[in-house]
Structure 1
Amino acid sequence: MKQRWSVNLLILAISGGALFFGLALFWSGYQEWAHWIWIGGSVPAITFLLYDTLRALARREAGVDLLALISIGGAIVLEEYLTGVVIAVMLASGRALESFAQRRAGREMSALLAKAPRTANRLKSVDHNQDELVQIPLEQVAPLDRLLVRSGETVPVDGSLISTIALLDESMLSGESTPVERKKGDALRSGVLNAGAPFEMLATANADESTFAGIIRLVSAAQSSKAPASRLADRYALWFVPLSLGVAGAAWLLSGDPVRALAVLVVATPCPLILSVPIAIVSGMSICAKRGILIKGGGTLEQLAQAKVLFFDKTGTLTSGQARLVSIRTSRNINPNVILGVAASMDQMSGHVIANAVVAAARERGLPLSLPSAVQEQGGAGLSGILDGQPVAIGSYEFVSTLASSPEWTPEFLQQVAEDGGSAVFVALDGKIAGALHLADQIRVETPRALRLLRKAGIKRIVMLTGDNRQIAETIGAAVGVDEVLAEQTPAGKQAAIESGRSLGTTMMVGDGVNDAPALAAADVGIAMGVRGAAASSEAADVVLLVDRLDRLAEALHTARLTRSIAVQSVIAGMSLSAVAMLVAAFGYLPPLYGALLQELIDVAVILNALRALQIAPLRVSHHTLSANQLQALRGDHLALTPVLDHLTDFTNRLNMTAPAQVRQAAVALEAMLQEKLFPHERSDDSDVYPVLADLLGGDDPMAAMSRTHREIFELGRRLKRLIDSMPADGSTNSETITELQRVLYSLDAILRLHFAQEEEIYQNLQ
């Protein structure tokens, strides 16, 4: 692109200089010299046009430069030398403007390349009390190296944070303008900027395997791809070029004046095709890159704009792709946080992916962890050891049940995990199973909203492809609202499903794993979720979402459709004006020189219109957002209440197994917990949080439905209190009262979980 920019500027300088120098000679009486100067100023443009036209014809493309080549050549043959050099200036100025627009539009991609780190600061222990700081080339960084990232520096490789806290500017990768706070142990992605104090990190990958290196490779491939949107321009050129030649020939034939044919060709020079389409498409690609969406070529963006059928892999796309804590089941009178704390303390000694998820869940809740001793691990099954002086075992039911006795709720819990999908981690204390954790890959918070936005953007059919069993797949499909679920699919099966889906329109496939690569390649547009996904899927994909968020796909589709619309508008408007000018010229009312000047005005108009693609607004429900800290605080409130919800669910499920004499005492303790922790939170939300969210969302009363849910929660709380107050103090509670109590508790549990999920989605919309 840089070389083409230089060539365009050189041709503009030569033709422009020749035009003005020739005019000076012409007005001074040296007409013959002026003619030769104008011819000389036209030759570079003719040479460049001939080169481009021959290249296009060699590729069996329409060659939209053909009319401009004939126009300049015809002007020289017909001794319209001034007209020829004016056309050359017009063409060179348009191409220079095109190159400028492409360079401006592509600066977000270039900015990624410019930010690539070249060195890293490695800390090396000299003795027990001193570290030596050595700056090394980036390629020398190895996993487990201790690195120092100073203020304003880019994180050089993927790693984990050693320091207590780090403030990072992740806008280069995610488009998130607000600095993000990371805590000790959190994963760090290469390519983000240290916006706070210096911090230490532990490298977990070398430079070539890190996130930012993958992005650099993808950006380089996108920048070196074929010139964007030539397909769109060529389709219009297929009929416009023959039409222009036909009108010019008819004007010459009917008038007998070849100058009229030249005038027609001058105003027919297809600069709206040559200039406006690439400018609009590259601008759209630039906007996408700025928002964390890498599109590898203009043709891809054009196909994306026409997509009608969307295929999704489940794991890592519709779901987060990582195990998360779903629920905790405990034996009687055991706090769920105790079970989670014990499991996480033991799992600190394991590197298993499920162990990492358990530890992460405990840290999210702020639970203190202890270090176990005498730990023994049976690979893939579990761990046993001593924790705070008592024997502990955690892991699969098969492993733990050989070391401890099982409670009566075990079969029911195992059945639930089998139906819902995921993994069960059992915890045994002093020879008895005291509780269990249910961990599963959960639906992304933004998934339902993202699918709604995609339908709004024009997607007609959404199909979920997964290798999971049908029961789990259909449960997730129904929850997110897809049109069809194809479960138990092999990579070949996914590929076949996509190929058959082409009969319904242009297809898109979204995936993130190695097994998705064949399907991504088979789709008209393959989309890889996040650069942290498998390299094979990123290489096979046409679009890479650099941010691990599904709603960015709706953003990409929105931008692609508007970009293509702007490109088509520019082409139709420019060619319509050219067509009118052709008719005027054919009847002899527009001489070639004035036609060239008019065509220049048309070019400028369509280029300015094409540049509107740089102003495409983000696809947002609201133009206001919550900062990362505000969002974290709101989610932190929900996280703090998770144990309360877990206790409510556990108590409700065990109510029928609880002795009637103990029901009232346990219910009083539960109601006191709700009154102390949960209900004040909901009242605070209604009085303090919702007014702020309403201002951000706009409208008359956008939080009315959520406030109505609060009233229902408070009403259920009052019913619960009345039921408990009506229970005899001697514990002789009848079965009808227990049944009604369970009904109220189930209602409260269901509405609270739904309400929390709705609030999370609102927070996500404002991120």
Structure 2
Amino acid sequence: MTASKPGPGLSEPTTGRDTILFITATALLLVGAASSLSGGDGLATALWIAATVLGLSYSTVTIAVALRRRRPSVDVIAWLALVGALLVREPLAGAIIAVMLFTGGVLEARASARAARELGALAARAPRIARREGDGGLHEIPVSEVAVGDRLLVGAGEIVPVDGRLLESTSFDESALSGEPMPVERPAGDNVRSGVVNAGRPARMIATETADRSAYSGIVRLVEQAQASTAPFVRLADRFAVAFVPLTLAVAGLAWALSGDPVRAVAVLVVATPCPLLLAAPIAIMSGLSRASRHGVIIKGGAALEQLAAARVLLFDKTGTLTRGRPSISEVVTADGMDADELLRLAASLDQTSAHVLAAAIVTAARDRGIALAPASEVAERPGYGLQGRVDGREVRLGKAVWILADPPPAWVRRARRRAAVEGSLTVFAAVDGRPAGVFLLTDPLRADAPRMMRALRYAGIQRTVLITGDRADIAESVGRIVGTDAVYADRDPAEKLAIVEDEQATAPTIMVGDGVNDAPALAAAAVGVALAARGATASAEAADIVLTSDRIDGLADAIFIARRSHRIARRAAATGMALSAAAMALAAFGLLTPTLGAVLQEGIDVAAIAMALTVLLPGRTHTVVLPAADLAAARRLYVQHTALGPLIEQVRTVADGLTGSSADLKRLGELLDRLEADLLPHERAEEEQLLPIVARALGGPDPTGALSRTHTEIEHQVRRLRRCFEDIGDEPEPDELTDIRAGLYGLHAIMRLHNAQEEENAFSLI
């Protein structure tokens, strides 16, 4: 049995008090049993009566508090059983009931104290001090005074105070946010979140958020919200347990009336406890919440967990959900005479002083290519236009076309604009020493794990997937086809998103996934709103029922598995326990159980139901693939090479564009082929020998790497073919020869783009 849960406004019983009561009652029970076995029946009876009176006093207080709050209490059954045990001279039964009563109190108090302790620990480790670079060196300031754009130093072992962008590479312990125990290496230019610990060397960073808008403070608020909700099934258990009181009294009264023996009535009261409902169901639900948090999923209470278990339709936004949510450079188009790497070096050197999201993309691209940056001076921002400054004595401007270009635009600008329009790219134009020098094309790339996530969600039981976005229809349709959605709604504003969610919700329980402020109304309207808060707290995280704290959306599939398993075990534990209690009531009503035996049996039923509920904590079915440490290290090493080859792959198309007319740049073609043979082909062979066996071991099944192996072969064949064609042409190639080579380059580019997408989805998404 357990004491009634306090209502709103009541103070929870402290763990210490309940533990003392439990230890006292247990000691009285055990010492009394020892005295009885040694022949001291009088002392045993006195000790058992004392334990019974202690339990009776406790239940009287809890009932009085519940009545004052006008809340029903199932402790009435315990109170009547204790009184009955004294009246029919069954003090041993009364002592056992008292121990059962305090056991429930201890479990509840410990669960409440643990939740409070975890929240207190989370809040206690929140960063409070930051070290800011300024005139005269470093200055320690309160984290609340950090402003966007400040340069900060994070020492080894220190907690990152606010969200920012790294100026130097180092590794971080991100377990506080993601649950991932392994340190994560972050290169210069990468984003880093507050609350993670610098596990490497001291590193400088630029603040991109203030403290109150950074990731860690948002997660503390989210965990506070997660404490406040009770699952529908737990509320149903409370109501059912209260309804069980009159049924118990009726059965007890009938047993007494038919037999004339009040002992039978007491025995019925003893075994008629709804503990399997009052304890097993909440324990299973709370265990599910705990297990989900290990996968980087904060579920705001049991209600959200139960709704997640019932959901069948998934709706999601595109930007930041299926895509990375931050731009990256897809291509650098340069004016004649300007080298792409040199332009990127100048631009990134200037942009490293800026906290703008597009600046971060340019700096990251330069770091990925291994380009060393120079310090910038005389940096000034032109609001609404861009940034200007001097790098290595050269004047550099970055920004909008109207600030960089003169009319009419040259041919390379028209080509870049056509490509940007087709691919939905952003453009940042660059000028060097007052002359237009090039343009950076930036896109929001699809997450490598998005297609695998969609398959995992269908495997978890999602029957329908819907993409809702404010982006253009052609781009949305393309993304929808890649990830395999059932429906796509493009060009939708927040009100239209809300209407779509409400329509889908009318047919089946829905999940809405988003990460932007404009997603908040739709998240609130869905049965379950899921927000991605890996880059900080937003309105979407506040409106959502579930928050993914890591930057991986496939954790949602694991959360669905956990929710359904928790719900299933909660019902099974409660139903099994109550069925056994009902059977025990029947036995007691027919005189087949004494109060003492009934108390012992009921304690066993309670323990069995709780043990069944705790099985939620055991490992269950998930879609997560865990790689051995050696495989993980090898895959990460190959991924670094894979990323570094991105510019070379885009250069294939650029060289193909230049093979026109009499001015075809054959020298550049030869240099490209040299690089493909020296850099690309050895990497493809290394992937064939090292990466594909790792993927095969991780995924299993019949030939999971066949397609990847085939494209490795095709890439090498196409490079060899281009080399032969290049060697066969003379100094003045025929137009047909150039056409063949240009077609081969375009074909190679397409194959490599497809191959890289397959690798990122099926291989590198595992890390």
TM range (shorter): 0.7 to 0.9
Structure 2 counterpart of 1:317, which letter?
T
In the other structure, the counterpart of 1:731 is: 732
In the other structure, the counterpart of 1:643 is: 647
In the other structure, the counterpart of 2:226 is: 222
In the other structure, the counterpart of 1:16 is: 26
Paired with 1:347 and 1:203, the residues of 2 have a C-alpha distance of: 14
Distance 1:436 1:182, change over 3 A: same
**TM-score, length-scaled by structure 1:** 0.86
Distance 1:102 1:554, change over 3 A: farther
Query: Which residues in structure 2 correspond to 1:60-139 (within 5 Å)?
Result: 65=75, 67-76=77-86, 78-100=88-110, 109=119, 111-117=121-127, 119-120=128-129, 122=131
Contact 2:32 2:45 in 1 (8 A): no
Aligned residues: 753
Give the 3-state SS of the residue equivalent to 1:589 in structure 2: coil
Contact 1:68 1:266 in 2 (8 A): yes
In the other structure, the counterpart of 1:745 is: 745
**TM-score, length-scaled by structure 2:** 0.86
Shift of 1:167: 3.3
In the other structure, the counterpart of 1:675 is: 677
Q: Deviations over 1:535-556 (max 9, x none)?
A: 4222222222222221222222
Contact 2:131 2:152 in 1 (8 A): yes
Distance 1:40 1:244, change over 3 A: closer
Shift of 1:577: 2.2
Contact 2:312 2:463 in 1 (8 A): yes
Structure 1 counterpart of 2:689, which letter?
S
1:337 corresponds to which of 338, 341, 348:
341
Shift of 1:93: 1.8
Paired with 2:463 and 2:729, the residues of 1 have a C-alpha distance of: 59
Contact 2:171 2:198 in 1 (8 A): yes
Does residue 707 of the first structure (1) align with residue 709 of the second (2)? yes
| Structure 1 gap segments, 5+ residues each | none
2:53 corresponds to which of 25, 40, 57:
40
Contact 2:122 2:220 in 1 (8 A): yes
Q: Deviations over 1:188-238 (max 9, x none)?
A: 433222334455666665544443222223223333555895235246547
Shift of 1:630: 5.1
Distance 1:456 1:249, change over 3 A: farther
Q: Deviations over 1:349-398 (max 9, x none)?
A: 66543233222222221223456778776533345677667776543334
Higher mean displacement: 497-506 or 92-101: 92-101
Shift of 1:325: 1.0
Distance 1:694 1:56, change over 3 A: farther
1:454 corresponds to which of 453, 457, 470:
457
Query: Which residues in structure 2 correspond to 1:490-509 (within 5 Å)?
Result: 490-509=493-512
In the other structure, the counterpart of 2:4 is: none
Structure 2 counterpart of 1:659, which letter?
G
Contact 2:293 2:299 in 1 (8 A): yes
1:176 corresponds to which of 180, 185, 191:
180
Shift of 1:734: 5.0
Distance 1:369 1:154, change over 3 A: closer
Does residue 608 of the first structure (1) align with residue 627 of the second (2)? no
| Structure 2 gap segments, 5+ residues each | 1-10
Distance 1:454 1:54, change over 3 A: farther
Query: Which residues in structure 2 correspond to 1:168-207 (within 5 Å)?
Result: 168-183=172-187, 186-198=190-202, 207=211
In the other structure, the counterpart of 1:756 is: 756
In the other structure, the counterpart of 1:323 is: 327
Shift of 1:170: 1.4
Query: Which residues in structure 2 correspond to 1:229-240 (within 5 Å)?
Result: 230-234=234-238, 237=241
Contact 2:627 2:698 in 1 (8 A): yes
Give the 3-state SS of the residue equivalent to 1:526 in structure 2: strand
Query: Which residues in structure 2 correspond to 1:505-544 (within 5 Å)?
Result: 505-530=508-533, 532-544=535-547
Shift of 1:49: 5.0
Does residue 686 of the first structure (1) align with residue 696 of the second (2)? no
2:549 corresponds to which of 541, 546, 555:
546
Shift of 1:273: 0.9
Higher mean displacement: 308-317 or 386-395: 386-395
Query: RMSD in angstroms over aligned alpha carbons?
Result: 3.8
In the other structure, the counterpart of 1:29 is: 42
Paired with 2:117 and 2:707, the residues of 1 have a C-alpha distance of: 44
Shift of 1:123: 6.8
Contact 1:406 1:433 in 2 (8 A): no
Paired with 2:445 and 2:496, the residues of 1 have a C-alpha distance of: 24
Does residue 275 of the first structure (1) align with residue 279 of the second (2)? yes
Structure 2 counterpart of 1:463, which letter?
V
Shift of 1:644: 1.3
1:420 corresponds to which of 418, 423, 426:
423
Contact 1:336 1:647 in 2 (8 A): no
In the other structure, the counterpart of 2:559 is: 556
Distance 1:318 1:535, change over 3 A: same
In the other structure, the counterpart of 2:7 is: none
Contact 1:376 1:383 in 2 (8 A): yes
Contact 2:189 2:364 in 1 (8 A): no
Shift of 1:483: 2.0
In the other structure, the counterpart of 2:159 is: 154
Paired with 1:391 and 1:46, the residues of 2 have a C-alpha distance of: 81
Paired with 2:355 and 2:151, the residues of 1 have a C-alpha distance of: 20
Paired with 2:467 and 2:419, the residues of 1 have a C-alpha distance of: 23
Give the 3-state SS of the residue equivalent to 2:427 in structure 1: strand
Query: Which residues in structure 2 correspond to 1:236-635 (within 5 Å)?
Result: 237=241, 244=248, 247-248=251-252, 251-252=255-256, 254-330=258-334, 335-348=339-352, 352-370=356-374, 378-382=382-386, 394-402=398-406, 406-428=409-431, 435-530=438-533, 532-617=535-620, 619-625=622-628, 632-635=636-639
Contact 1:109 1:289 in 2 (8 A): no
Give the 3-state SS of the residue equivalent to 2:266 in structure 1: helix
Paired with 1:333 and 1:139, the residues of 2 have a C-alpha distance of: 48
Distance 1:696 1:2, change over 3 A: farther
Paired with 2:380 and 2:417, the residues of 1 have a C-alpha distance of: 25
Give the 3-state SS of the residue equivalent to 2:492 in structure 1: coil
Structure 1 counterpart of 2:550, which letter?
V
Distance 1:166 1:30, change over 3 A: closer
Structure 2 counterpart of 1:50, which letter?
I
Distance 1:14 1:227, change over 3 A: farther
Distance 1:740 1:221, change over 3 A: same
Paired with 1:665 and 1:123, the residues of 2 have a C-alpha distance of: 49
Contact 1:330 1:650 in 2 (8 A): no
Paired with 2:589 and 2:311, the residues of 1 have a C-alpha distance of: 41
Paired with 1:42 and 1:558, the residues of 2 have a C-alpha distance of: 41
Distance 1:187 1:414, change over 3 A: closer
Distance 1:532 1:670, change over 3 A: closer
Distance 1:757 1:585, change over 3 A: same
Distance 1:193 1:631, change over 3 A: farther
Distance 1:699 1:310, change over 3 A: closer
Paired with 1:138 and 1:331, the residues of 2 have a C-alpha distance of: 45
Q: Percent identity?
A: 45
Distance 1:668 1:142, change over 3 A: closer
Shift of 1:423: 0.9
Paired with 1:102 and 1:560, the residues of 2 have a C-alpha distance of: 21
